[in-house]
A and B are shown apart, each in its own frame.
Chain A
Amino acid sequence: MDLVLEYVVRGAHGVFFSAAGDFIWLPIAMVFIGVLLGIVIGAVPGLNGPFAMALSLPILISTFGVSNAALLPILGFLIGVMKGATVGGAVPAILFNTPGTPDAYLTTLDGYPMAKNGQAMKALKIAHFSSAAGDTFSDIVLFLTAPVLAVFIERILDLPEKSALIILSLSFMAAVSGSSAIKGLIVGVLGMLLALMGSTLSGNGPRMTFGIIALGNGLPVTSAVLGVLVISEVFMGIEQSARDRLSRVAALENPLSGDNSFGLKDIRAIMPRVCTSAVIGTIVGALPGIGTTLAATLGYESARRLSKHPQKFGTGVPEGVAATEAANSAVSGANLIPVLSLGIPGNFAAVFLILAVESVGDFTLGPSLFRFTEIKNVEGYGMIINKDLVTCFSIFTLMVLGNVFNWTIGSWFLRSLGVLARIPKSVMLPVVLLITFTAVYAQDGGFVAIWIVLVFGTVGYVLRKLNVSILPFVIGFILSPKLEELVRGAYSASGGDSFFMLKSPLALAFLMIAVAIMVLAGRRKPHRVP
């Protein structure tokens, strides 16, 4: 227990003090700026947290470099953005009835009517309170479960089981996101295949590069992921503005005419809904690939069913706003459970945290993260310690800081943002395109990066148009090199047995569940994804 405590203390210490022992502002300041930026981005219709994380990552790497010292400031900023954006997303939904993200649609149901009734400020305060509460709850669950789960996984799972578990997560993601499970799986496999371009483990020289020298180390991950996620969004947005040429939103006449107080009495009224929703959001968040929309839907629905006056939902009841915001914010912390314990990202925000970790420093995610190595000091060599674990506790500290900022300045900042929600998409998106080009060029050193962004942007655009989810594509792309290494390792370890994965009962069980999920998903009545 002393050892655990020492790791925790060292982790927290690392955020506030440099290696030399001086107090440092940088990580704290980065979380602070990140939270502010996140709230702003969340409040702009059409932008969201992952979008801002995607854009800031290359800029952060250019600014801070890739040494171990850069990791905490960069992660601090990204975590700040992630947390701020979950809070900020409520602003346009409540004030202008324009949800910035699909999950915020449910916030409009009661938030906008509240604003119309003159209670805009109250709605924002409720949204902020519930959102911050949901997020905090989710983080606490993460802090407690991720280490336990990771230790458990490390004990039980060997190479074949780990490979099978990644396959299971991928098929689960393909099945739950998008309109068709099979199409989701196909693009997931496609993403995995493309990630294999370039580097080889054997030393035989690059593969699948069409002879393009610059692809010798594979497709640059940031360019590819930015292309599919961000640039395809830019394509869609510019197309829409060029078609509509009307992006004016009518401002409310009297947003503050009603009762805008928010006190203990209100908290007591909404607290039960916040709690239920936080639990729902956390559970949904811990499963890879489901995301905030389902969490928000379940949260809202449960609040309506549990309510004494369900018929009032949709007319501006505080519980409606509270339940939605608590549920979708509770996803963000729990989403890191699979990231930290398995190295598997469950949503786009997690993708960018993983990308940051992979590009900066030598921190490694996955079950071995939570090995509590005995701390030992050797003169002339240095400390023998599981540095990754210390970093992990530093990350937890950053998350706590993010929550503190969200609670303290978030509410005030949130309420001053109404103006921002009116920046037109037609200006925002081309600027985003230019910044993306600049950032990937700076990071990958050549026009190749820009071509990759464009090609992957087009792929993302086509997939969006065909109503196929791009989440499996991105996650497949990220996980594939790791899966290849695992499968190769497991195959070699089994002495060249082609059926190595079927010989382990646990791996076999994982694979069977994966198949079962696919079969069930194939039969499911297709539903439209917003």
Chain B
Amino acid sequence: MTSSTDHRRWTPNPWDIGFGVVTLAASLVALFFWFPHDIKGGFVEINLAGRLEPGDAFFPVLLTTTMVILSVVQLLSVALTRTQQEPDTTIGKLTPANLRFLLLFYSVVLAGLAVMYWLGPLTTALLRGLGIIDQSYRELLDTAPYKYLGYVGGGFVMTAGLITWAEGKVRPRAILTVVIVLFLSLLIFGILLKNIQLPPNADF
């Protein structure tokens, strides 16, 4: 603890400033780089009927300009709130622990999704290489068991992985739950609903 004057000194919350800076920067980038490259229509246009009307860029530009103004207001409000006596506890923040969590979470989920995407095609390629079948995955994506491979494999890796990580141990009952859930969703999405495609079959 430092002296009392030090305590009353203006100490803005970096997350409060950061929020404003990030949104300000993002909206400026959108306004000057993103939109010019990615919106074909203008701010106002003459339509087929020969009338002036707001173009495709009209509303995006309007909204982004609003965001610029609001971001500036956000920054100003932080700067002007100098009399703050105690640290404002309502401002949240992202801790390094949160980022570590995100990284791990994404690793598990992406591993699961990779299995989901590749398991079927790789298996068929392998079987084809061995001469057991002569079709590609695209030709087999409505044939059991190939069409279920990726979903079941990837779904299992992802869910069982997340549960095990969250619980810190492998629990047979949890694994059994995963198997039952996978079986049920296969039944609903794969068998009862005829024209619904399970991942990854719509992508091939």
Contact = CB atoms under 8 A, between A and B. Distances in A.
Contacts of B193: 62-63, 442
Given A238-B166, A426-B166, A526-B90, A450 B113 contact: yes
B6 interface: no
Contact of A431 (B113, B117, B178, B189): B178
A238 B162 CA distance: 8
Contacts of A496: 44, 52-53
Contacts of A209: 38
Interface in A150-194: 179-180, 182-183, 185-186, 189-190, 192-193
B155 A434 contact: yes
Q: Give the interface SS of chain B, mostly helix, strand, loop or mixed.
A: helix
Contacts of B151: 438
B200 A466 contact: no
Q: Give the interface SS of chain A, mostly helix, strand, loop or mixed.
A: helix
A183 B23 CA distance: 10
B1 interface: no
B185 A461 contact: no
A190 B38 CA distance: 17
Interface in A507-526: 522, 526
Interface stretch (A257-265, A269-277, A392-400, A486-494): A486-494
A446 interface: yes
A200 interface: yes
Contacts of A186: 19, 23, 67, 70-71, 74
Given A208-B34, A438-B189, A441-B202, A179 B60 contact: no
Contact of B181 (A431, A442, A447, A484): A431
Contacts of B98: 239, 465
Contacts of A185: 70
A433 interface: yes
A245 interface: yes
Contacts of A235: 101-102, 105
Interface in A191-208: 192-193, 196, 200-202, 204-205, 207-208
A302 interface: no
A355 interface: no
B54 A467 contact: no
Nearest to B110: A454
B183 interface: no
A528 B90 contact: yes
B188 interface: yes
A117 interface: no
B117 A447 contact: yes
Interface string B87-128: 011111110011001100110010001000100000000000
A488 B53 contact: yes
A315 interface: no
B163 interface: yes
Given A62-B189, A207-B39, A182 B94 contact: no
B149 interface: no
A74 to B, nearest CB: 14
Interface in B118-171: 151, 155, 158-159, 162-163, 165-168
Residue among B90, B94, B198 with most chain A CB within 10 A: B90
A189 B66 contact: yes
Given A208-B35, A433-B158, A62 B40 contact: no
A242 B67 contact: no
A34 B185 CA distance: 19
Contacts of A375: none
Interface in B42-58: 44-45, 47, 51-58
B70 A182 contact: yes
A204 B73 CA distance: 35
A492 B54 contact: yes
Interface string A445-488: 11100100010001001101111100000000000100110011
A499 interface: no
A359 interface: no
B174 interface: yes
Interface string A239-259: 101110100000000000000
A465 B90 contact: no
A182 B74 contact: yes
A491 B196 contact: no
Contacts of A526: 88, 90
B198 A430 contact: no
Residue among B64, B166, B196 with most chain A CB within 10 A: B166
B90 A196 contact: no
A202 B55 contact: yes
A468 B199 contact: no
A105 interface: no
Contacts of B181: 431, 434-435
28 contacts: A62-B189, A62-B193, A182-B77, A189-B66, A190-B23, A202-B55, A207-B39, A207-B40, A208-B34, A209-B38, A235-B102, A235-B105, A238-B162, A239-B101, A242-B101, A426-B167, A427-B174, A429-B166, A430-B166, A433-B109, A433-B162, A434-B185, A438-B189, A442-B193, A467-B91, A488-B54, A492-B51, A522-B77
Interface of B: 15, 19, 23, 30, 34-35, 38-41, 44-45, 47, 51-60, 62-64, 66-67, 70-71, 73-74, 77, 88-94, 97-98, 101-102, 105-106, 109, 113, 117, 151, 155, 158-159, 162-163, 165-168, 174, 177-178, 181-182, 185, 188-189, 192-193, 196-200, 202-203
Given A62-B196, A207-B57, A488-B54, 15 more contacts: A62-B193, A182-B70, A186-B67, A193-B63, A196-B63, A202-B47, A235-B102, A424-B167, A425-B166, A426-B163, A430-B162, A435-B181, A447-B199, A466-B19, A467-B91
